[in-house]
Structure 1
């Protein structure tokens, strides 16, 4: 065994997954999903947007404000999900395409 090749505490699998998670650089490569749901909302329809990874909280708030003003409804950010009141799927898909994302409708 050549000298210096032993690395007891280095986990290459973790390092590779961290590097691959940061390789997505453009908005068009993000897997953005838009769906409407009524589960756990007291029968009210809510549009849920997942996959919008923003680097800072200010950018997420600006995007949410744009979505809410375009749809004319209320909304919130819960973790990495954006929620808008009502069935706003078609409006959200159009807006995200204009912003450079590649969204897809999921669910029924």
Structure 2
């Protein structure tokens, strides 16, 4: 009967019902409404270059699917988490081309 009730110690209200404040799973926007940014990043990566795609709004599963598509098209490794897709290497032009072909609104960002 133990539940994870963070912040509630005791209530004298007989009609009290505990409500979880867990955020609801985000729904994935259609590709036409996504505002993706493609940029080159070297920070915190030991001097290695990676192509970073940010601005994805949606579920973690859809982000993983997009990451897998981009990594497959570029033929390299990478990761997809926290709303970002990381593709190893400088593949800005190729990633941008693939995203536009898939119907996403994407543009280059940074220098």
Global fold match (TM > 0.5): yes
Give secondary structure in 1 for the equivalent of 2:65: helix
Deviation of the 1:25 alpha carbon:
4.6
List alignment gaps of at least 5 residues for structure 1. Answer: 1-21
Pairing partner for 2:49 from 21, 45, 56? 45
TM-score, reference length from structure 1: 0.71
- Determine the structure 1 residue equivalent to 2:61: 58
Pairing partner for 1:82 from 70, 81, 85? 85
- Determine the structure 1 residue equivalent to 2:76: 73
Give secondary structure in 2 for the equivalent of 1:44: coil
Query: Over alpha carbons, which structure has the higher Rg?
Result: 2
Runs of 4+ in 1 over 3 A off after TM superposition: none
Deviation of the 1:37 alpha carbon:
1.0
Report how many aligned residue pairs link the two structures: 86
- Determine the structure 2 residue equivalent to 1:103: 106
More helix by share: 1
Root-mean-square deviation (CA), in Å?
2.0
